[in-house]
Structure 1
């Protein structure tokens, strides 16, 4: 039977979402989570592949804005819910959905598509490049201490209920956007999704805990975390799992870290998603007992190369011609002149000779400033044509802080 691809009707959402749940392991979330997902859904951005009355493929996106180098934000499509039924593999369904989705994103005027990759091997062929890394840590707090900076003792900490402190949490989160690329501007109702606290979310741990950091009566940081108590013959050895930590300034960051390290009856702090340049790494007494590991984070795909490169800032002035390969979105293929300085950036088509050659995938990897063009060239993924162009352009694309994606979608 021919597979039909179409935009979802609201009446088809339960069947569509059920297919997503099945593809990602078949364990449905709590009813509250399902209802919240329905609430934040933009039905006109959902694609379903149908074999008769059966939904056999899904893909969707959200109309976000993402922080980019230069302290501003750019429109992006947050791609999510991509799946193909196990019974319908190797029939071109995924490719057809990706084709339809990128065409739609382009028509909406969104220059970037961004996703979390359940399987990284899938998305490179559609032009997505790994653009952020995240740090995972499991810290032995029985053996690791912190040397905190001046001003830490001037931070007041107080416990709060997450829902009652939500306005403060969101204000602190919003203050981070200009400083760190990769962070996503919250859409309506997404703030409540971040503090959803069903038994499934708790995973055998405590209800979600919240501590606010305040300086002179102003909220300047927060930590959201869960406690997982545990005992053995030697005593208590519980775990603190950090869901989110945001802070304005080093003293607030250190005060929250010191609090998490010192919670009674615990001996481990797990941080499953932190920026790779997180400051606490320079405060610990023994970094080897923090079990640090890097993981891939956000994958970025320029949908409109010219608009995407013009939307971000650059660390140094640059004037370079890029020869871009893009077989899946051929409107991007060809030569582009990027000219940028402190006043802004322009990226337009040109017939001038190329200085660098790369695919749109590498352009996506370098876009947020966390993956350098130099390292991509060392891997053979970027080719220097004009001598010196690689060093100048790699410097311009770089950033002062590591990009980071703390916002799931």
Structure 2
């Protein structure tokens, strides 16, 4: 079919969103979730495929600013709400929507597009590379002790109503945004997302709970979680399901984890989204009893390659010519000279001989510093054309801390 792509209006948002829900299994979201995402939807960036009086595809984008190496906040399209009806698979609907969307992103002057993928294999062909990973843990709190670095004992913890504490928690989050690549600066309205509390998302636990960490009367950290009671013949075995936690210093972070691991009638703490280099790995007494796992999280593609590579800084001096292939956005194809260091960078087209050969997908993976070009070369996805160029570029693209996406969109 030739997809009929149409913008979403205020009047047909509900039917458009319902078609998205059907594509993801047909379970209607809670009224709270629908209301939030209705408010967050940018109608001028939302559209879909239409066929005989019904939506058969959906796609949208949020206007984000994304933290990149060096601390800059770079405009990025947060690709979201993408679906194709089961009746219209393999008919070119998704390709048509991706084409329309990336052309629009380019027109808006956003150097980057990012997304989280329900099925990671889908988006590689459109130039998206896995740029961040998320760590999951199941801490056996009955056997694991949490270290107490300096400053831990000076932290006061108190329960707070999640709604009433939202402003204080958001302030802690915002102070951290520039410190780790991959974190979006939340625009108005997004502070409500962490407060979503539909019963289906509680994993059988309590309504959302919040604990604030304070020092000298100032909020320096928080943890939001569910407590799921459980019992066996040998006693209590409840689970603390951590939604999110943040702190401004090691002592406050340790104090929060000591609290979570010490809640009465529980024997484990579960978290599904931590940075892969989270300090927790060095606070626990036995990392083997934490069931550490890693999965893909944020997928990124440079939309305007030169602008994207100029927008970040580089961990080590670099001067390389990149031979880039980009079949889906051919304006990026060709040779680019990247020169930069920790103070800034330039990236311009050149006719000089290439030092490295790769596609835009590999640059998307390496962009935030969490995936090394050397590891991609080991998989045959980057080819070195000048001896030493791979090591130089790989070191330059690295980040002192692992990039991380703290929440979905």
Per-residue Cα deviation, 1:199-225 (whole angstroms, up to 9, x for no partner): 334343111111111122211111111
1:111 counterpart = 2:111:
yes
- Who is 2:252 aligned against? 252
Structure 2 length as normaliser, TM-score? 0.98
| C-alpha displacement of 1:85 | 0.3
For 2:320, the equivalent position in structure 1 comes to 320
Q: Is 1:133 the counterpart of 2:138 in the alignment?
A: no
Q: Report the 3-state secondary structure (helix = DSSP H, G, I; strand = E; otherwise coil) of the residue aligned with 2:153.
A: helix
- Name the counterpart of 1:198: 198
List structure 1 runs of 4+ shifted beyond 4 angstroms: none
Going from structure 1 to structure 2, the CA distance change for 1:196 and 1:189 (only over 3 Å counts) comes to: same
Quote the residue 2:270 is aligned against.
270
Matched residue, 1:370: 370
Deviation at 1:3, TM superposition (A): 3.3
Deviations 1:74-93 (A, max 9, x none): 11000111110000111100
Alignment RMSD, CA only? 1.1
Instruction: Tell me the SS of whatever aligns to 2:175.
Output: helix
The alpha-carbon deviation at position 2 of structure 1 amounts to 5.1
Aligned partners of 1:375 and 1:172: how far apart in 2? 34
Name the counterpart of 2:351: 351
Work out the CA distance in 2 between the residues paired with 1:176 and 1:226: 24
Who is 1:389 aligned against? Answer: 389
Residues in 1 aligned to 2:104 and 2:373: alpha-carbon distance in whole angstroms: 29
1:148 Cα deviation after fit: 1.7
1:408 match: secondary structure: coil
Q: TM-score when scaled to structure 1?
A: 0.98
> Per the alignment, do residues 2 and 122 of structure 1 end up closer, same or farther by CA in structure 2, a change over 3 Å counting?
closer
Give the distance between the partners of 1:204 and 1:291, measured in 2 at CA.
21
The 8 Å contact of residues 2 and 51 in structure 1, kept in 2 or not, is answered as: no
Structure 2 gaps, min length 5: none
Corresponding residue for residue 98 of structure 1: 98
Query: d(CA) in 2 for partners of 1:98 and 1:28?
Result: 25
Match of 2:171 in 1: 171
Equivalent residue runs for 1:2-401 within 5 Å: 3-401=3-401
1:8-63 Cα offsets, whole Å, 9 max, x none, are: 12212111100111111111111121111111110111121000211000111100
Which segment drifts farther, 281-290 or 320-329?
A: 281-290
User: Is the 2:157–2:212 Cα contact (8 Å) retained in structure 1?
Assistant: yes
For the residues of structure 2 that align with 1:121 and 1:26, how far apart are their CA atoms? 22
Unaligned runs of at least 5 residues, structure 1: none
SS at match of 2:100: helix
Return 359-368 or 149-158, whichever deviates more. Answer: 149-158
Distance 2:196 2:131 in 1: 28
Deviations 1:329-369 (A, max 9, x none): 00000011111124311111111111111100000000000
Q: CA deviation at 1:393?
A: 0.8
Distance 2:165 2:31 in 1: 24
Moved more, 309-318 or 193-202: 193-202
Contact 1:3–1:52, Cα closer than 8 Å, also in 2: no
SS class of match (2:309): helix
Which moves more between the two structures, 49-58 or 198-207?
A: 198-207
1:163 shift after superposition: 1.0
Contact 2:205–2:241 (8 Å) recurs in 1: no
State the alpha-carbon separation in 1 of the partners of residues 115 and 171 from structure 2.
Answer: 25
Cα distance between partner residues in 1 of 2:351 and 2:228: 61
Partners of 1:330 and 1:295 in 2: how far apart? Answer: 30
Answer whether contact 1:373 1:382 (CA < 8 A) is retained: yes
Shift in Å, 1:117: 0.6
Q: Secondary structure at the match of 1:10?
A: coil
Contact kept? 2:157, 2:214, Cα under 8 Å: yes
Q: Deviations over 1:298-345 (max 9, x none)?
A: 000100100101111111121111111000000000011111124311
Alpha-carbon distance between aligned partners in 2 of 1:303 and 1:407, rounded to the nearest angstrom: 22
| Secondary structure of residue in 2 paired with 1:183 | coil
CA separation in 2, counterparts of 1:198 and 1:272? 17
In 2, the alpha carbon distance for the partners of 1:33 and 1:146 equals: 35
Q: 2:191 and 2:31 mapped to 1: Cα distance?
A: 18
For residues 5 and 373 of structure 1, the distance between their equivalents in structure 2, rounded to whole angstroms, comes to: 37
Q: Secondary structure at the match of 1:328?
A: coil
Aligned partners of 1:6 and 1:47 also within 8 Å: yes
Contact 2:203 2:228 in 1 (8 A): no
